[in-house]
Amino acid sequence: MRVLAAMSGGVDSAVAAARAVDAGHDVTGVHLALSRAGGTLRAGSRGCCTIEDAMDARRAADRLGIPFYVWDFSERFRDDVIEDFVAEYSAGRTPNPCMRCNERIKFAAVLEKALDLGFDAVCTGHYAILRTGLEGALELHRASDAAKDQSYVLGVLTAEQLAHTLFPLGDTPSKALVRAEAQERGLTVAHKPDSHDICFIPDGDTRGWLADRVGAAEGEIVDRTGAVVGTHEGAHAFTVGQRRGLALGVPAADGKPRFVLEVRPVSNTVVVGPKEALAIAEISGERFTWVGAAPTASEFACHVQIRAHADPVPATARRTASGVEVVPDEPLSGVAPGQTAVLYAGTRVLGQFTIDRTVSAVPAGV
């Protein structure tokens, strides 16, 4: 097959490309330029897609003896990921930019261009496994290494995208083995730190970055009864479940700490309450996709995961006329609208939806 290897400049994508070469594929490497700030530099393990990452990717491709190109997707990334991130925060939701990047850039725009150029598949360094199901359809499953499993952020993929995707690292028992393999292959990225945080906010100051783009205006912090208990300098700086940085002027009657329960951007209000009120008994959303064939039953048992590294929780999911509803067997904690809920059946990824509505397990009057 003609395979396009997406090379981020990290060790995972370099080894994935190497394995694709070993498998006999005709491999071409490509690095995605997602920022037009050409002089952007990497700060330790923060961020990715910097000028150093592009050079690391090129060196890896040279070592593997494969052609290498840099594709400029900065405009598409700005429109589909960065602007979406700002819009979601402005609406009081907590977005996941990595999900949007996978959905709209790496497995939509890139794959579309690759197919147009005559490639058969895109290869990435994600830790996930593709398997053929009993009925012959491809399924997406968790990786062998639970600590590195990335199936959650791949929950946005469609059956068509799975058919043109390769994940060579999925069956690798540990990241340490990947680094050792990179060392043996003479890849200079063998011991390069993993990237983390939001790639377009490399200094990690999400609050300051958002303030520059959406502005900061003083507003009220209220409890669940509507009583004002403090003020803030911009609702965009708060997320559901947050405890630090509230600076409440009125202590709780029971003396216990309070947490952010809700962000209301229209009124620029932040709602706080006891930790118990973060328990969520039901979530639902209208923006959903299925990874492969959709479940045939309108109601089915599954596990739901609401963050990349959260534990999956047993639940019952219902398909409705407008979307998906999920009732966990035990309440979820700190769920915010805008987050992505990924549904699993064992190790298999069933699909995902963006959480639009949550129902607290603790009524407001309690």
Asked whether residue 262 carries a pLDDT value surpassing 50, the answer given is yes
Which single residue is written with the structure tokens 């979307």? 323
Sign for the pseudo-dihedral over CA of 84, 357, 232, 309: negative
C-beta of residue 137 within 8 angstroms of C-beta of residue 292: yes
Mean pLDDT of 335-353: 95
| pLDDT at residue 365 in the model | 55
Asked whether residue 39 carries a pLDDT value surpassing 50, the answer given is no
| pLDDT at residue 314 in the model | 98
User: Which residues touch 297 (CB under 8 Å, ≥6 apart)?
Assistant: none
Asked whether residue 239 carries a pLDDT value surpassing 70, the answer given is yes
Give tens-digit pLDDT for 97-138: 988 998 999 898 999 999 999 999 999 999 999 999 877 889
**Beta-strand relationship, 165-166 and 259-264:** unpaired
pTM, rounded to two decimals: 0.89
C-beta of residue 341 within 8 angstroms of C-beta of residue 286: no
Whether 101 is catalytic is yes
| pLDDT at residue 51 in the model | 82
Whether 98 is catalytic is no
Instruction: Kindly state the tokens that stand for 216.
Output: 């900061």
**Beta-strand relationship, 313-319 and 299-305:** antiparallel
Per-residue confidence at 44, pLDDT binned at 50, 70, 90?
very low
Domains and CATH numbers, the chain: 2-184 (3.40.50.620), 216-273 (2.30.30), 278-360 (2.40.30.10)
Q: List the catalytic residue out of 49, 98, 101, 123.
A: 101
| pLDDT at residue 49 in the model | 64
Q: List the catalytic residue out of 49, 98, 123, 199.
A: 199
Asked whether residue 37 carries a pLDDT value surpassing 80, the answer given is no
The Cα–Cα gap between 93 and 357 comes to: 10
